[in-house]
Amino acid sequence: MSDLLTRIQEIISWSALGPTAFADEIGVPRPVISHVLSGRNKPSLEVVQKILSRYTEIAPKWLLSGEGDMLTLLAEKDATSHVEDQPSDPINRNGIILGDVQKDGKVPELIVSSGESATSENENKKKVVKVILLYSDGSFESYDS
């Protein structure tokens, strides 16, 4: 089994999608991913490019050679410990904002309950007033509390 194949399988597992949904997500025909996963065909340059274009948080060097960390945020964090170099709004692979990074690099604790507030040790309680969901096709939904 190719090392590249192993890394693609790891990305599929990380994305929490099945092979067919993964193929749809990156924009390749379903049989292409099926043939790659079965070992019938090797991943093409097009497949690699589409993975990297859809999942920008995947480190290209890791996907191609296996060097470094899978996620670019982890690779950047290892390269430097400066909070300024990290995105101001950390977003997970599903587009959900995880919270604001404080000056000390910590993410405030979030209480996950309807109408509850997000808090940190040093701040007063904040009430959630709006939630915006951003989808990969460019559409969005907005919910006011």
Looking at residue 124, its pLDDT comes to 65
pTM: 0.51
d(C-alpha 4, C-alpha 93), whole Å: 21
For the cut 80, the answer to whether the pLDDT of residue 15 exceeds it is: yes
Distance from C-alpha of 124 to C-alpha of 126, rounded to nearest angstrom? 6
Whose tokens are 């209480």? That residue is 111
Is residue 43 over pLDDT 70? Answer: yes
- Contact criterion met (CB below 8 Å) for 60 and 4: no
Q: Is the pLDDT of residue 58 over 80?
A: yes
Strands (E), 31-144: 117-118, 126-127, 130-134, 140-144
Mean pLDDT of 39-53: 92
Looking at residue 71, its pLDDT comes to: 86
Specify burial of residue 58 (Cβ count, 10 A radius: 0-12, 13-18, 19+): buried
Owning domain of residue 112: 81-145
Q: Please compute the mean of the pLDDT values over residues 34-44 and round it to a whole number.
A: 92
Predicted pLDDT of residue 101: 46
Encode pLDDT of 81-124 as tens digits.
444 444 444 454 444 444 444 455 554 554 444 444 444 454 56
Last residue of a domain, one of 74, 100, 116: 74
- 52 and 12 together in one domain: yes
Q: Are both 69 and 91 inside the same structural domain?
A: no
Q: Are residues 51 and 107 in the same domain?
A: no
Residue written as tokens 């690699």? 48
Of residues 7 and 131, more confidence is placed in 7
